[in-house]
Structure 1
Amino acid sequence: MSGTPQEIFRRYVHAGTVSRNADALAECFTEDGVLEAPLVPAGAAFPGRLVGRAAIRTAMTAYYERLPETDDRAPNLDKTACVLHATADPDVFIAEIDTVFDGDGGGEDTTVSLVQIFRIRDGKIVRLRDYFSPDLVS
C-alpha cells in the first residue's frame, strides 16, 4: 500500500482518534512497526512503547476498552488544526497538531498542542513518535 503523508496521516487519525479501531490502527503500521509515546510515564494507561503490529493491536484494544463510550474529552475535529511538515528525508514527516476540546457546559475550549514524527515505508508507518502531554491519557 502506498500513500502520501497526508493519506497515511488521515488513515492513522481516523483509525485511532476518530473510530478507536485498534485493528485498523495496527494495520497502519508495518509488521515490525513501533509506536512510541516518549513523554508517557511507565505504568500509565496509555502504552509508552509498542513494538510490532500485533503488540500495537493488543495494547490499543485494551486501552480503547478502558475509555468511556461517550467521551467528554473527545476532540472537536472541526476546530482542530494540523500542519504536516516535509523533511529532507522523504520517508519522514512531522505532524504539528493543535487539538481542540469543547468547553464543558459552554465554558472555554481547551487547546492541546502535540507533535508526531512519522517514519514510513511502502505506505505504512515504520515508527511513530507521539509527543503529547501525559495528562491527556491519565
Structure 2
Amino acid sequence: MSRTPQEIFQSYVHAGTISRNADALAENFTEDGVFEAPLVPPGGDFPSRLVGREQIRDAMAAYYARPVEAGRSPNFEKSGYVLHTTADPEVFIAEIDTVFDGDGDGDGDGGDDVAVSLVQIFRIRDGKIARLRDYFAPGLVSSDRPE
C-alpha cells in the first residue's frame, strides 16, 4: 500500500524532528535511499550525504545522541509547511517555515522568535523515500555557529 505525500512527510517529521528516533527515520527510506543536505559542508556536525537505510540509521543515531542546544527546539504550533505536488507523481516538495521560540541566539535574554525557512525535495518509491534533498542553512546544525 502506497502512502500519500502528506503521510510520508508527517512520518518523516515525526521520526526526525519531533522524536529524534533514528530507527523510525531510517524506516521511512527505501533500502537504497539517499539523504542529502547539499548546503552542509562535508565533515560537519550534520551529515551532508548518506546512502542506504543503514547508513542513514547509524549517522542520524549519532547526530541525535548529541544534546539539543538550548533555545533550538522548534515550536510546532508557530511553525508551518506547504506540500507541493509536481508533474512527476514520485516527486513532491515541502516548503517549511520553522519557528524557534525566543532566545534562538542563545544569549539568555529570551529575545524574539527566530523563523527559519527551508525546502525539502522528496523522491518516493513504493511509499518510501528514495531520495531526499534537504536545503537549509548549515548554521542550524553546526556547533561552531557564530555567537
Task: Establish whether TM, by shorter chain, passes 0.5.
Answer: yes
Structure with greater helix share of residues: 1
Residue number in structure 1 paired with 2:106: none
Gaps of 5+ in 2: 104-108, 143-147
Q: CA shift at 1:67, angstroms?
A: 2.6
Report the number of matched residues. Answer: 137
Task: Confirm whether residue 96 of structure 1 aligns to residue 100 of structure 2.
Answer: no
Work out the CA distance in 1 between the residues paired with 2:53 and 2:65. 18
Counterpart of 2:135, as a letter, is Y
Gaps of 5+ in 1: none
- What are the within-5 Å matches in structure 2 for residues 8-19 of structure 1? 8-19=8-19
Residue number in structure 2 paired with 1:86: 85
Task: Confirm whether residue 110 of structure 1 aligns to residue 119 of structure 2.
Answer: no
Structure-2 change in CA distance of 1:9 and 1:71 (3 Å): farther
Work out the CA distance in 1 between the residues paired with 2:24 and 2:101. 26
TM-score, scaled to structure 1: 0.96
Q: CA shift at 1:16, angstroms?
A: 0.1
State which of 119, 132, 138 in structure 2 corresponds to 1:134: 138
Q: CA shift at 1:90, angstroms?
A: 0.4
**Once the two structures are superposed, what CA deviation does each residue of 1:88-122 show, in whole Å capped at 9, x if it has no partner?**
00000000001000002542100000000000011
Secondary structure, counterpart of 2:96 in structure 1: strand
Residue number in structure 1 paired with 2:75: 76
Q: CA RMSD in A?
A: 1.2
Work out the CA distance in 1 between the residues paired with 2:112 and 2:86. 35
Structure-2 change in CA distance of 1:12 and 1:71 (3 Å): farther
Q: CA shift at 1:71, angstroms?
A: 4.4
Work out the CA distance in 1 between the residues paired with 2:10 and 2:91. 15
Residue number in structure 2 paired with 1:121: 125
Counterpart of 1:109, as a letter, is D
Runs of at least 4 residues off by over 3 Å: none
Is contact 2:37–2:47 with CA below 8 Å preserved after alignment? yes
Q: Percent identity?
A: 74
**Once the two structures are superposed, what CA deviation does each residue of 1:27-84 show, in whole Å capped at 9, x if it has no partner?**
000000000000001111100000000000000000001133x742010000001000
TM-score, scaled to structure 2: 0.90
Counterpart of 1:9, as a letter, is F
